[in-house]
């Protein structure tokens, strides 16, 4: 009993309650075990069972031992951690943790003095960003819930939840399916929570937008200790937040709703930010070639669609370089135009704009890949020469070019008319008119689409975010060239996914709209 009593005393000093009215991150704390009292099972149909904590190491963590098998180094994606000579018990605990979730308390003698556990807890605190915390809800059924660290700054501490505490899911939390299991994620958390079994899913659903422990027990018909244990694990990683009574009208005040730093973010934007940067995400990221050998690379230039072809004017670049203003002049005079002259731009001007901004200058095998995968060189930069963007022109009026919708072939420098339906073209142009804020329809709408497979074949986790960056550099290039040519350019903030997909005859989601740009003649120019 000495071991257990000492352990309980140590726990009381190590486990602290969740701080109220603060943003949850679940980042501080230790790896102390939790002793659960068995209470009434209520409507629980399984035998009464005290939930048990389990520990394991992330699947990508490796243990390296010295020649004499006494020294241990933990190899992680964030670097190696030399633990020195932690002792036989700690080495055995770490070895078991590499095999999967394990009950560490089984390693310690009931009459021990607790020193081995304290040594292990010190080691676990040093590598806590590699430790997966799981909960067993049924005897021998394995993990019901697992909290997996995804940041080198991840920490874990179980809070003390009182029966009257009002809790809810964070408004940034979301559930999705991953590898056949439900995963609960939040950009505010440095963990992802895997909901292995129905009790975990039931508790998450019952907490929803606000509940107490008693309400969750009533709604799920699960044992109170099981509900408490699951809620504690969710709170430890910031998936649920706690509130205080508001103004006496029965409402609950949650700090998350009143944090000015969080108010600026939607769930979608903050999750997109967190998962397309290193440091707070799970899985590979960057140039990992995830589909190499499984899928063929997408062609560097999209096959020319069927339709009437319109070769475009090709300017003499040497003459352009001689007569153009300076880059500084173009950058200093660049601005967005929201009104356009009644006079239409010419097909020659469009040809020059596209040639100087987006043509393919050359195609060559990619240095890091097979000869079947080609890279291109164009006036605007693209990561790895992928150049996944396609350009479509919806023409309201253009001298020398019929109205309609066209695809731009950057290799042959020509347009292909893919849709002659005036009503459908008008739909896109009217939407652009509203976004630009102009009285009439813009003369020419340039829609940028992304063939995401061009990027995802090479890059993991960042394909779409990279495509949006490419939209930015292409828009800047179009701005500078249009300014140098004396045209009236304007980038659009948003476009209609459904209308664009239909009018441009896109094979969504293989090719998706990602940006818009309009161009016309400056209103101050006279006929």
So what's the pLDDT on residue 348? 97
Question: How does residue 13 score in pLDDT terms, banded at 50, 70 and 90?
Answer: very low
Torsion of CA 42, 45, 51, 52, to 10 degrees: 170
Question: How does residue 247 score in pLDDT terms, banded at 50, 70 and 90?
Answer: low
Pick the CATH number of 2-54+131-275 from 3.90.930.60, 3.30.930.10, 3.30.470.20, 3.40.50.12780: 3.90.930.60
Query: Is the per-residue pLDDT at 428 higher than 80?
Result: yes
CB atoms within 10 A of CB 526: 8
Report the alpha-carbon distance of residue 261 to residue 204 in Å, rounded: 26
More confident residue, 481 or 164: 481
Q: What is the DSSP letter of 369?
A: S
Average pLDDT over all residues of the chain: 86
Burial readout 302-316 (b: 16 or more C-beta within 10 A, e: otherwise): beeeebeebebbebe
Taking the alpha carbons of 243, 15, 130, 184 in that order, is the dihedral positive or negative?
A: negative
What is the per-residue DSSP string for 241-301? EEEEE-SSSS-EEEGGGG-HHHHT--HHHHHHHHHTSTTS--S--EE--TTTTTSPPPPSS
Would you say how long the chain is, in residues? 527
For 409-422, the pLDDT digits (tens) are 999 999 999 999 99
Tell me if the bond preceding 436 is cis, omega within 30° of 0.
Answer: no
H runs (alpha helix) in 317-438: 317-323, 327-333, 347-358, 422-436
Range 41-69 average pLDDT: 77
CATH 3.90.930.60 residue ranges for the chain: 2-54+131-275
312 neighbors 355 (Cβ within 8 angstroms) = yes
So what's the pLDDT on residue 6? 34
For 473-488, the pLDDT digits (tens) are 999 999 999 999 999 9
Report the alpha-carbon distance of residue 153 to residue 78 in Å, rounded: 10
- Edge-to-edge strands of the sheet including 252-254? 166-169, 240-245, 252-254
Query: Is the per-residue pLDDT at 112 higher than 90?
Result: no
| CB-based contacts of 64-67 (< 8 A; 24+ apart in sequence) | 65/91
CATH 3.40.109.10 residue ranges for the chain: 286-521
Overall CATH class of domain 286-521: alpha beta
Range 198-219 average pLDDT: 95
Range 193-213 average pLDDT: 95
Tokens of 490: 């304007």
Q: Return the closest-CA partner of residue 374 out of 296, 460, 262.
A: 296
Question: How does residue 527 score in pLDDT terms, banded at 50, 70 and 90?
Answer: very low
What is the pairing mode between strands 79-84 and 131-136? unpaired
Report the alpha-carbon distance of residue 377 to residue 379 in Å, rounded: 7
* Burial class of residue 1 in the structure, from the number of CB atoms within 10 Å of its CB (0-12 exposed, 13-18 middle, 19+ buried): exposed
């Amino acid at each position: 009993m000495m071991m257990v009593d000492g352990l309980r005393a140590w726990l009381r000093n190590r486990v602290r309650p969740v701080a109220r009215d603060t943003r949850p991150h679940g980042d501080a704390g230790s790896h102390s075990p939790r002793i659960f009292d068995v209470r009434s099972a209520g409507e629980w149909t399984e035998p009464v069972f005290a939930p048990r904590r389990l520990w394991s190491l992330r699947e990508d963590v490796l243990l390296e031992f010295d020649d004499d098998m006494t020294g241990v180094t933990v190899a992680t994606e964030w670097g190696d951690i030399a633990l020195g000579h932690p002792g036989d018990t700690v080495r055995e605990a770490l070895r078991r943790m590499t095999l999967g979730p394990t009950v560490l308390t089984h390693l310690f003698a009931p009459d021990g003095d607790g020193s081995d556990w304290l040594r292990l807890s010190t080691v676990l605190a040093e590598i806590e960003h590699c430790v997966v915390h799981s909960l067993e809800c049924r005897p021998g059924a394995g993990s019901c819930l697992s909290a997996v660290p995804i940041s080198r700054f991840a920490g874990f501490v179980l809070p003390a939840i009182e029966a009257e505490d009002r809790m809810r899911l964070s408004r940034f939390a979301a559930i999705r399916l991953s590898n056949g299991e439900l995963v609960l994620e939040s950009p505010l958390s440095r963990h992802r929570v895997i909901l292995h079994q129905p009790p975990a899913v039931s508790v998450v659903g019952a907490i929803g937008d606000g509940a107490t422990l008693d309400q969750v027990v009533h709604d799920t018909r699960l044992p109170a200790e099981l509900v408490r244990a699951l809620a504690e694990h969710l709170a430890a990683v910031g998936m649920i937040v706690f509130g205080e009574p508001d103004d006496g009208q029965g409402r609950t005040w949650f700090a998350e709703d009143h944090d000015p730093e969080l108010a600026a973010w939607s769930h979608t934007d903050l999750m997109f930010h967190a998962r397309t940067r290193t440091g707070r995400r799970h899985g590979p990221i960057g140039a990992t070639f995830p589909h190499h050998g499984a899928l063929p690379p997408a062609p560097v230039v999209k096959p020319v669609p069927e339709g009437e072809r319109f070769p475009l004017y090709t300017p003499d670049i040497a003459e352009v370089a001689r007569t153009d203003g300076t880059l500084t002049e173009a950058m200093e005079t660049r601005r967005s135009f929201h009104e356009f002259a009644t006079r239409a731009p010419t097909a020659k001007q469009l040809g020059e704009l596209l040639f100087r901004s987006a043509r393919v200058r050359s195609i060559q095998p990619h240095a890091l890949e097979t000869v079947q995968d080609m890279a291109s060189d164009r006036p605007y930069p693209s990561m790895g020469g992928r150049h996944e963007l396609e350009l479509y022109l919806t023409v309201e009026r253009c001298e020398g070019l019929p109205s309609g919708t066209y695809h731009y072939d950057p290799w042959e420098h020509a347009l292909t008319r893919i849709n002659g339906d005036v009503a459908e073209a008008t739909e896109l142009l009217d939407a652009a008119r509203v976004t630009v804020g102009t009285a009439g329809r813009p003369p020419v709408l340039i829609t940028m689409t992304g063939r995401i497979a061009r990027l995802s074949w090479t890059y993991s986790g960042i394909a779409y975010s990279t495509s949006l960056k490419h939209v930015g550099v292409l828009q800047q290039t179009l701005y500078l060239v249009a300014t140098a040519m004396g045209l009236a350019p304007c980038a659009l903030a948003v476009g209609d996914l459904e209308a664009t997909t239909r009018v441009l005859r896109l094979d969504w989601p293989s090719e998706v709209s990602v940006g818009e740009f309009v161009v016309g003649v400056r209103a101050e120019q006279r006929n």
